[in-house]
Amino acid sequence: MKNTSELIERIIKLQNDKLDVYIQRKNSKVIAIPEMEGYMDFMDFENDDYELLYNEIEANPKNFFKVEPLTSREIYNIMMDFALEQERTDSVVLVKALRTNRPYDEFRKELMNIGTVINSAWQMYYSDRIKRIIRSRLCKEHIHLISEKCS
């Protein structure tokens, strides 16, 4: 059986693959279907299963919880938190990058300029924060992916 962290990593990967992710409330089953941009043309899919899943979700929305991807504001806040936790010289550079017109691009550029150690630290920090946010959202909905309870 997978642990909660592995299941949350799976949810993140599905979202990164441009899939809408739902949790079936009754059995905590993870369901993924292609993102819906205003409408969905099932003729484009190779598999009719997507249409069946979509129809089931539409017919019984209370039985499913959609795991929303992080907003740009949430991502920005994670970046700022990380920047503020760094040593002063690195922190100043990263915060300055986040205060530009293109904060995401500038932040990544400065991470690369500072070096691989901080870039690796960022990747670990970001991954951990996303997992905690998704786990918190699931806990608020009383969804437990395994017997583990929310703390």
39: confidence class by pLDDT, cuts 50, 70, 90: very low
Assigned domain for 105 exists: yes
Same domain for 91 and 103?
yes
- Which backbone phi and psi does 45 adopt, to 5 degrees? -90, 145
In this predicted structure, the answer to whether residue 41 has a pLDDT above a threshold of 80 is no
146: confidence class by pLDDT, cuts 50, 70, 90: low
Same domain for 29 and 63?
yes
Assigned domain for 48 exists: yes
In this predicted structure, the answer to whether residue 48 has a pLDDT above a threshold of 80 is no
Same domain for 25 and 65?
yes
Burial (CB count <10 Å: 0-12, 13-18, 19+), residue 72 = exposed
Assigned domain for 146 exists: no
Q: How many domains does the chain have?
A: 2
Same domain for 97 and 79?
yes
Same domain for 76 and 129?
yes
Same domain for 50 and 83?
no
Same domain for 56 and 89?
no
In this predicted structure, the answer to whether residue 113 has a pLDDT above a threshold of 70 is yes
Same domain for 26 and 83?
no
Same domain for 89 and 123?
yes
Assigned domain for 140 exists: no
Q: For the beta carbon of residue 100, count every other beta carbon within 10 angstroms.
A: 13
Tell me which residue range forms the domain holding 129: 72-134
125: confidence class by pLDDT, cuts 50, 70, 90: very high
Same domain for 17 and 64?
yes
CA distance 110 to 114: 6
Residue matched to tokens 């932040």: 107
